[in-house]
Structure 1
Amino acid sequence: MENKKLLTNASVLSLPGILAIFISLVSIPIHLKTAGAEGYGNYIIFHFLLTLGTLLNFGIGKSIVISINNFPKKSKSVSYYGIKYTFVLSIIFSILFIFLSKIETFTFINSIFGKSII
């Protein structure tokens, strides 16, 4: 009985990922026809950066919400330090990204963006 429930739950949780694959198979050719190769490339780069930003979130927003809930009298201070911490991390990652894109042997950035983006 528990195995059946586990299989059902796993199937339901896997459904969005499988559905996304099929939607991508349909939408990529449509997007290429509509926007062209360059427009689609810009779209992919934008989504790559958006995904990278989401992955590098480090859960700061959730931590701020929990801290404000635990310390309501210090909500302004917690918010300020959360924004400050996020800003510092953004600057550090931006500098790191620019530095790595300037290195000729760093092929990952160059293969994705080429040498002319930054």
Structure 2
Amino acid sequence: MSQDIKALQAALRAFAQARDWEQFHSPKNLAASLSIEAAEVLEHFQWLTEAQSRQLDAERTAQVADEIADVLLYLLQLADKLGIDPLAAARDKLARNAERYPVERAKGSSAKYTEL
């Protein structure tokens, strides 16, 4: 696991411990919070056109960045609680996706791998 991720997870643990919040940080609660924060990312794009979503102004980009940070922080806390290396899990998933979506069948298609 990356030293940066380990350091961030340690900082998150210390942050929660200092506030006696560990009691609230069950995997279930962290997963729920992760989902809520991901929805808050989506909220910034809710009524935008495709084109508008590609050209956010600086203020909206900063707001989305805050929500992305919340998603990442909850994700890292959940991974930490469950003993999952998020980078290893992501690498493994990318390798499986490469098998499911071979370039020659998936290029330019949004179809699920079961429909290719």
Tell me the TM-score normalized by structure 2.
Answer: 0.31
Of Structure 1 and Structure 2, which has the larger fraction of its residues in helix? 1
Q: Report the TM-score, using the length of structure 1 for normalisation.
A: 0.31
